[in-house]
Structure 1
Amino acid sequence: MLAVTAADHLPAGPVAVLANPTAGRGVHRGLLPPLLDRLAVAGRPVRLLEAGTAAEAEAACRAAVTEGIGALVTVGGDGTVHRALQAVAGTTVPFGPVPAGTGNDFALDTGYPADPLAAVDLITAALLQGRTRPVDLARVDGADGARRWYGAVLAAGFDAIVNERANRMRWPRGPRRYDLAILAELARLRPRRYTLRLDGVTHELDAVLVAVGNGACYGGRMRICPAADLTDGLLDVVVGGRFDRRTLMRVKPRIYAGTHVAHPLVRTYRARTVELAAEGITTYADGERALDLPVTITAVPAAVRLLR
């Protein structure tokens, strides 16, 4: 069970809100004014952060934390959460994600309602009662000294390769671009050689899928790491071995239920620290472009305090 932090530990200051108006293809855009009104019931000033790009959003969150906000709330999906986590990870600033994107894996895995209004009511009640619950985050360190944090899952296999291709494509727009990227990468699918060090123990393996989960889900409720626990201080590693195209496409739908881990070509591991290396792979964390391999991923217990 998640621990509850005492009321007198909540920092003073306004509630900063980072909203992504394009999240969920704009479905929840009209909800922002009532969401802000409900947050104001907590009796603190509510400050909407200004940002036009993902980089600006992350910078705005970092600046707000430095300036002494009392809490940070996001309205959007996993990408918006990812930007905020870079600012609040390892600090005393509590965080509340309002799920309003196409993928809301971190918010839902940490117990927030799928309905944005219900989620903001939960966050407001936590602010009023001074209640927070700590959960783990994963910290990613690159060979060049770069560092990122994530809450859900880091992908370092086929899914990451597809994302990288889709991001390079200028046409078509929308989901169709991702579909075409999948087809292109399936045509050239091949297992890659990975070096995996789990708490110092080295494994050399050939794989098509590699995921390192702090949480269970990615990509909109795909349970890629179904046994992951956000409060156990451990990372769950799922490796899909030498799949050919036909086997991969048969197994992939099973990820939604988490039953893919029973396939004989899938291996699962658990560790506090994961060192991962392979040639030519750019990782994606919480669905966002992260760092090139090699990386070291560390489970950091109670790295963020959730308003729940």
Structure 2
Amino acid sequence: MPPSRGPQALRSALRLTANLPRRRIQQQPYIPTTLRHHTTTTFPNSSQPPPNSNSSSQNSSIDPTEITHFNALASSWWDPHGPSRLLHLMNPLRHEFIARCRSSVPCSPVPSEQKLRYLDIGCGGGIFAESAARLPHTSSVTAIDPTPEVLRIAEGHKRRDPLLMTPGRLTYKNISIEGLAVPETETEKYDIVSVFEVLEHVSSPAPFLEQVMKQVKPGGWLVLSTIARTWTSWVVTNVVAEDVLGIVPKGTHEWSKYVNEGELREWFARQEGWGGQGGMRTMGVMYVPGLGWKEVTGSEGWGNYFFGVRRDEL
């Protein structure tokens, strides 16, 4: 390939791969149909139900290939230098972001004095779930994941800590969000519902988020981390991280499933009873080799980011 034509050829290849014009991303960002118009659990402008929409199925938002992929990584989940290394390094920022969210709006009782109930969705081997369960202000942590091999690793690691074996402190369930019962009363719902590094692995974001929202109590927070769908994120996560450096297992990310921060913000703004009184926050982060994850203002527009939205008080 002649050097002078390299950039143009690369752009052409990317257009063919993603079936998405570059100009559309820069000037008029593509918004997945399920997030742009979605208000119910059926697809708009279609007489067909969403995939796996049968109420008896527990896997309506789950891609079977994702389960296979993460099952294969199960044994290395707790290796701080293994394939899950970036998740271990990100964990402190997860707690920092939750603390910022909870202190950003008036809250009663005082956040530091309230005992919190957590629901960790897509918990994997339990990196965040375990750390949340050890916090002094935690009442309980329920952690769910549809990947059986990963949950076996989580259960085994939990047994190493007597605190985590305290009845009700940390409970793992091999189940998807669709199969998790919704608490009967508002007070039985969760103060913090976390969805870390999960949204980019589900096939239909809006139906998935609607199920998640049912678990949040009034005044509680839904917090998540995911990746913006930009050319920069494609190069960083799919090319550099997976193919060049090998710091992320190959096949972990599918660029077309990434969700932009603006899309999430717009979608939640249309959900009645969510994000009022400033209850919507974002924090952009970037992985710096040798230094770990760092907050980078504005990076939510092109790379990894945290997003939090509060359910309004009744």
User: Which structure has more helix as a fraction of its residues?
Assistant: 2
User: Which structure has more strand as a fraction of its residues?
Assistant: 1
TM-score by length of 1: 0.26
TM-score by length of 2: 0.26
Structure ranking higher on relative contact order (CA contacts 8 Å, 6+ apart): 1
